[in-house]
Structure 1
Amino acid sequence: MTVFIKPFNEKYFSVSFPEKFNDTILNAVRTVPNRIWNNEQKIWLVPSNQNAMNLLLENIYGTNLFNFEDESYSLPKPESFLDSELNKLDSALKVRHYSICTIERYKKWVRNFLSENEKIESGSENQKINEYLKSLALKKNVSSSTQNQALAALLFYFRFVKNTPVETLSSVIHAKKKVRIPVVFSREEVVKVINNLTGTKKLIAKLLYGTGLRLNETLSLRILDLDFDRNEIIVRHGKGDKDRHVMLPQKLIPELKAQIELVKKLHEKDLAEGWGKVAMPEALGAKYPHGCNELKWQWLFPQKNRWKNELTKEEGRFHIDESLVQRAVKNAILEAGINKNASCHTFRHSFATHLLESGYDIRTIQELLGHSDVSTTMIYTHVLNRGAGGVLSPLDRL
Structure 2
Amino acid sequence: MDMDIPPPIPAQPTRFLDRLRSFIRMRGLAYATEKTYVFWIKRFIRFHGRKHPETMGSAEVEAFLSHLVLQANASVATQRGALNALVFLYREFLGIPLDNLNYEAARKPAKLPTVFSPEEAKAAINNLEGEYRLIAMLIYGSGLRINEVLRLRVKDVDFGMQQLVVRSGKGNKDRITLLPDSLVQPLTKQIEAALHQHSSDLAKGYGSVYTC
Q: TM-score w.r.t. structure 1 length?
A: 0.28
Deviations 1:175-194 (A, max 9, x none): 83866432111121112111
Residue 211 of structure 1 corresponds to: 142
Change in 2 beyond 3 A, CA 1:170/1:200: same
Q: Which runs of 4+ in 1 moved over 3 A?
A: 172-180
Give, in whole Å, the separation in 1 of the partners of 2:177 and 2:135.
15
Give, in whole Å, the separation in 2 of the partners of 1:269 and 1:247.
31
Counterpart contact for 2:4–2:31, Cα < 8 Å: no
Residue 54 of structure 1 corresponds to: none
1:227 aligns with one of 134, 147, 158: 158
2:127 maps to 1:196 = yes
Residue 4 of structure 2 corresponds to: 124
2:195 maps to 1:264 = yes
Give, in whole Å, the separation in 1 of the partners of 2:125 and 2:135.
9
Structure 1 residues not aligned, in runs of 5+:
1-120, 127-165, 279-297, 301-398
Aligned residues: 121
Change in 2 beyond 3 A, CA 1:124/1:226: same
Query: What is the SS of the residue equivalent to 1:240?
Result: helix
Give, in whole Å, the separation in 1 of the partners of 2:189 and 2:183.
10
1:184 aligns with one of 105, 115, 137: 115
Deviations 1:321-346 (A, max 9, x none): xxxxxxxxxxxxxxxxxxxxxxxxxx
Give, in whole Å, the separation in 1 of the partners of 2:176 and 2:161.
11
- Identity within the alignment, %: 42
Q: TM-score w.r.t. structure 2 length?
A: 0.50
Q: Which has the higher helix share?
A: 2
Query: What is the SS of the residue equivalent to 1:267?
Result: helix
Change in 2 beyond 3 A, CA 1:272/1:185: same
- RMSD of aligned residue pairs (Cα, Å): 2.8
1:239 aligns with one of 128, 151, 170: 170
Give, in whole Å, the separation in 2 of the partners of 1:200 and 1:224.
18
2:211 maps to 1:299 = yes
1:204 deviates by: 0.9
Query: What is the SS of the residue equivalent to 2:121?
Result: helix
Change in 2 beyond 3 A, CA 1:169/1:253: farther
Residue 95 of structure 2 corresponds to: none
1:168 deviates by: 2.0
Structure 2 residues not aligned, in runs of 5+:
7-27, 37-74, 78-107
